[in-house]
Amino acid sequence: MSKVALVTGGSRGIGAAISKALKEAGYTVAANYAGNDDAAKAFTAETGIKTYKWSVADYDACAAGIKQVEDELGPVAVLVNNAGITRDSMFHKMTPQQWKEVIDTNLTGLFNMTHPVWGGMRDRKFGRVINISSINGQKGQAGQANYSSAKAGDLGFTKSLAQEGARAGITVNAICPGYIGTEMVRAIDEKVLNERIIPLIPVGRLGEPEEIARCVVFLASDGAGFITGSTISANGGQFFV
Ligand code: NDP
């Protein structure tokens, strides 16, 4: 029987590419999403992948949603924490609400999603947790104190859980994408994108969602069992750690 992979924010953008790539690699995929029903319906119609709606920012909703996925598809072997939002603002103008929403989704969301699957992974002596962080969690970014803090926190979470999961056959890794051509990035003013962002990327272009998805498929594979606590930077040469 094929392993079950659960991808948060799995019906759009990078998450959609991850869901599709995992399906192609033989997994039974569940794609979670927050509220864009039209996108989710279109995604299921295109791919045949089941979608599940709940917010990763809500612990009880995560526990209930994961239970539904496991009842319908089987135990989650691969969890991809991909869901993320931006609420950009220079710090002097940032509201507590902008701070909270981003921390709740992009950082606490990892706790909310991983905690309910962790016990089962430990019992079964197998698990793959793959966290989609960001280049801006590695280097910081003006206008994104909330986002960069959450994404840096994701890396601390990854390294800590990697140590806790190692003896139980669970690997926990992170991927830090640079600028990838999804709606989140296309929402940036075109002039800013063309004049101030793309020139900073040595390969001279935005990344493709599929380029992140291929990293996920590798980290999820049985062959990646010795890799844990690692961060893959996929950023076109923009930043080295
Ligand atoms: P998109 O905005 O294209 O898609 C975001 C996805 O996350 C959507 O499916 C959305 O659901 C879902 N989502 C948002 N909030 C929640 C929530 N509370 N609960 C469940 N699902 C939620 O984002 P990207 O594909 O661009 O980004 C994916 C990840 O990659 C994010 O974590 C982002 O921070 C990270 N990243 C992206 C980069 C980029 O250049 N694009 C660069 C570096 C990192 P719905 O469809 O319902 O809205």
Interface predicted TM-score (ipTM) of this complex, two decimals: 0.99
Q: Does residue 38 line the site of ligand 1, with CB under 6 A?
A: no
Q: Does residue 56 line the site of ligand 1, with CB under 6 A?
A: yes
Which ligand 1 atom minimizes the distance to the CA of 106?
32
Q: Does residue 110 line the site of ligand 1, with CB under 6 A?
A: no
**Residue 222 clears pLDDT 90, i.e. is over it:** yes
pLDDT score at 186 = 82
List the residue whose alpha carbon is closest to atom 39 of ligand 1: 180
Which ligand 1 atom minimizes the distance to the CA of 147?
34
Pocket test for ligand 1, best of 47, 85, 114 (most atoms within 8 A of CB): 85
**Which pair of structure tokens corresponds to residue 113?**
């999603």
pLDDT digits (tens, 9 = 90+) for 89-117: 999 999 999 999 999 999 999 999 999 99
Q: How far apart are CA 192 and CA 93, in angstroms?
A: 20
Strand partners, 76: 4
- What's 88's DSSP letter? -
**Residue 76 clears pLDDT 90, i.e. is over it:** yes
pLDDT digits (tens, 9 = 90+) for 9-34: 999 999 999 999 999 999 999 999 99
Which of 1.10.10.10, 3.40.50.720, 3.10.350.10, 3.40.50.261 would CATH assign to domain 4-232?
A: 3.40.50.720
Q: Is 27 helix (H, G, I), strand (E, B) or coil?
A: coil
Give yes or no for a contact between 78 and 22, defined as CB atoms under 8 angstroms apart.
Answer: yes
Q: Is 155 helix (H, G, I), strand (E, B) or coil?
A: helix
Mean predicted lDDT score pLDDT of the chain: 97
Q: How far apart are CA 82 and CA 32, in angstroms?
A: 10
Q: Is 18 helix (H, G, I), strand (E, B) or coil?
A: helix
List the residue whose alpha carbon is closest to atom 44 of ligand 1: 134
pLDDT digits (tens, 9 = 90+) for 160-219: 999 999 999 999 999 999 999 998 788 888 999 999 999 999 999 999 999 999 999 999
Where along the chain do its domains lie?
A: 4-232
Q: Can you list the alpha helix ranges (DSSP code H) found in the chain? A: 13-24, 37-47, 59-73, 96-103, 109-124, 135-139, 145-165, 183-186, 190-192, 209-220
Which ligand 1 atom minimizes the distance to the CA of 151?
34
What distance in angstroms lies between residue 239's CA and the mean position of ligand 1's atoms?
A: 21
Select from 16, 14, 57 the least CA-distant residue to 34. Answer: 57
Q: How far apart are CA 27 and CA 4, in angstroms?
A: 6
